[in-house]
Structures are given as C-alpha cells and as structure tokens.
Amino acid sequence: MKALIIAGGKGTRLGKLTQNIPKPLIKIQRKPLLEYQIELLYKYGLKDITILINNLGKKIINHFKNGDRWGVNITYYEEDYPLGTAGGIRKLEGTLTGDFLVVYGDLLINIDLDRFIKQHERNKRFRKMCVGTLMVHPNDHPYDSDLVEVREKGIISKFISKPHAENLVYQNLVNAAVCILSPEICRYIPPGRASDFGAEVFPAVVRSGKHFLFAYNTPEYIKDMGTPQRLRQVVSDVKNGKYATAALNLPKPAIFLDRDGVINEEVDQLHLLEDFKLIKNAAEAIREINLKGYYAIVISNQPMISKGFCSYDEVMEIHKKMETDLGKLGAKLDGIYFCPHHPEKGFPGENQRYKIRCRCRKPGTGLLRKAAKDLNIDLKNSYYIGDSTTDALTARKAKINFVGVRTGYACKDGKYDVIFEPGSIKSNIKSAVRYILRSAHLKE
C-alpha cells in the first residue's frame, strides 16, 4: 500500500519555530517529527511514500532525499500553490492505482497499522462502495475538535466541524487525520483548487449516499503539534514513555466502569436524556484514569431497550450526553460496551429482537472479553469498579480485581451471594480510582 504524507502547511500557529523550517521538520527529542512517521511506516512495511510539499518544502527534500537511509522509497509532489489537505491528492489521481494511506504531516502517531489496514479490508468486504476508513479517537477536548458521528457497523453518518453549537450533544469521536482511501475518493475532490477533506470532501461523500466512509475507533497515540502547547505535550509524552507504549500491539491494563450508580446518578430504569446526571467527581476520576495510562471503559447492562422503555438509538443519545459532559470537564472514555438484552418476557411494548439469553449480559463476561480483544487489554492488571453484586460477580468470572462504591446500589442489592474483601468498598468513583492507583503503584 502506498502512503501519502501531507506536509505542505505553513504552521503559522507555531510562530517563530516555523519561520525558517517547515512544521514537519520540528524536532521532538532531537528527531524531526516526520522521521517518526517514516519509521512507523517502515515498521509496518509501507515503503512507497509520497510527501506532498509546499511551504519550505525543499528543506524536507534535502533532509530525506530518496529515503534510502530509512529503507523506504520517497518521492515528492510539490504544489505550485497551497492546495489544502485534499487538493494535492486530486493532482496525483493518475498515479493512485490502489487504496492508499494518508497521514497529515503535523501528527505524532504510534498506531498498529496492521490492525487498521485489516479493518479497512473488512469494511470493503461488508460494503463494496466503501471509499475510505477514517481513524477516529476520543480525546480530552472534544468541545474544540472536528467530530464525526457513527452509526452501527462503524458507518460514518455525519461530520461536525468546530465551532460547535452551544448545546450540541455528541459522540467523543475526533477525526484523527489518518485514513485509508480508495482512488474513487478523487471524484469528490474539486479539481484545480484547494480543498479540505474534513470540511468539504468527506461530508460530500456522506451526502451522496452512493459511497460509504467507515470509522476506525482507536485509543492509540495520535496528537498534532500545531500549537506551542501541543508541541510541549508531545515532547513530554516522548520523554516519559507514553508515546512509545501507546500502540495496540502492546497490551495495556484497563479500569472497567459500570455506568449507572458509578458514573451517573442511579435512576430506576434510566431512559430519559434529562435524567442523566454525572456523579460529583466522576469526570475528575476518569481524567485521572486517562492520565495514568489505563483505558477507561464502560461495561453496562441496558435492558430498557428489550423491555421497550426506550430504543437503541435513545440509549446511544444518553451515551452521547455522557461523553459530552465528561469531555467538557477534560475526561474521556476509551470504549462504551453495553448489553441491550433481557431474557424475561411480559413487559408492555417489549422489543422481541432483544429478548434472548446472551453472553454479554452481566454477570456474563462477553462485553468485557470483547473489549479486551478489541484493545489488547492486559486483564491480569485490570480492575472493575461497580455498585452491585452483579458487577462484583462479573469481575470474579473474568478474574480481575473488583472495587465497589457506596453510590448507586452501594453493593447491597443482594442479587448474588458475593463476599467482599475488607476495604474493597469505597465511597465513590473518585476514591475507588485513587485506591486502585495506589494499589497498582505498590505492586510495581
């Protein structure tokens, strides 16, 4: 697969740093940003690379030349004038004979490209009119990011550019500026002028109804360094090792979280958006999980769908509100997994589609196992925070550590016969997270 790196931007937000060198040549720990990208492409066997250049592009050519030093073959396309993120690719249309990877040149990334490519191939088998798979990810500032909305099967249904409407409720899925595209995408790129993928080209694909774009949701390391503050952050992440250990080919522990009674206030049969309210300090606790390098993953039973109290889409709206409220406070969830099933019948208006016995309904471990497979989770060093004996039994079956909270059902529901370890019930999610982080530190 060919790789295209879009490296023609001026980097004006970096001020004096980009007066004499192009943004992709800014050094992070004595190595240019673009060099990190090329080394990653080489690692995954993508050795045919074209770099699209404009501003101070000759300096990129002088540094990398033909790429021999890095074991790759680099060619260049120098734009006569700035063509945005998409215009230059339209100029290369005749050279694109197969699907190609696109990476923006101001990103520091550490991602498992094998997983990404395989998912794109599955998407193409599922929908023959797939023209691209876009990497998306949750971040801790979705309120000022370009977002996407995704429906079932990962199909992108909407692009939401910043600035956002004041009361917008959204999925925390940020367009990560890494994608795999088919040459067919060129029919949506206007010829002979500058154009932008996120603001113009991708929305045109969605509106057409003729082709599909898929989302590949990953919590891996994808950060732009387009402002002084973000540049300082990526330098820090390289220094402290966060960057090096971020790809999904390396296992990482998670802190699994029940939803109702742990993250949000317990409401019997919660199914109305206006009834969803975060528990005090829940965002602070989840932000602490984010900072300490654990995945934060929700594992939740939502039987109101099968009982007919609400639809699948209405539960998704509640989850969007949860992500919105957390995002405003600088916290993110790396995954939300929920079971819509309920085996008991007899509810007025119940949804027969979901009236089944399944492996995903807690205390079954199906959802937890799926999350572990999706994200290569180190279960041995993971934890589960819950407010019920159902949650405790789920953790026991999965052989992971359980910490209870006194919010919600306070682990006093009595549904299952569970004996709790002394000191394993904490006052709320914040104290539970701090207990876990202290315990993990003592094990090191």
* C-alpha to C-alpha distance for 110 and 112, rounded to whole angstroms: 7
Distance CA 301, CA 334 (A): 18
Distance (Å, whole) CA 24 – CA 178: 15
- Please provide the DSSP assignment of 165-229 as one string: PTT------EEEEEEEE-GGGGGGSPTTS---IIIIIHHHHHHHSSSEEEEEE--SEEEE--SHH
Which residue is catalytic, options 260, 334, 387, 391? 260
> Residue 185 corresponds to which tokens in the numbers above?
């995408």
- Catalytic: 144? no
Bridge partners (DSSP) of residue 238 are: none
Token duo for residue 394: 């789920």
Q: Which listed residue (99, 258, 334, 387) is catalytic?
A: 258
Amino acid at 31: K
Cα gap 273→290, rounded to integer Å? 26
Nearest-angstrom CA–CA distance, 442 and 259: 28
Place of tokens 């309904």: 361
Helix, strand, coil % in the chain, rounded to nearest 5:
35, 20, 40
First to last CA, the chain: 41
- In the numeric block, which tokens belong to residue 292? 């300490």
Residue 109 DSSP SS3: strand
In three-state secondary structure terms, 50 is strand
Q: Tell me the two tokens of residue 167.
A: 């009361």
Contact in structure between 397 and 369 (CB atoms under 8 Å): no
- Residue 274's Cβ-count burial label (10 Å; 0-12, 13-18, 19+) is exposed
CB within 8 Å of 166: residues ≥ 6 apart? none
237 is catalytic: no
Amino acid at 392: A
Tokens of 92: 């290369």
User: Of 284, 299, 317, whose CA–CA distance to 394 is shortest?
Assistant: 299
Using DSSP's 3-state secondary structure scheme, residue 107 falls into strand
At residue 426's C-alpha, the angle toward residues 428 and 273, to 5°, is 25
- Just list the catalytic residues: 258, 260
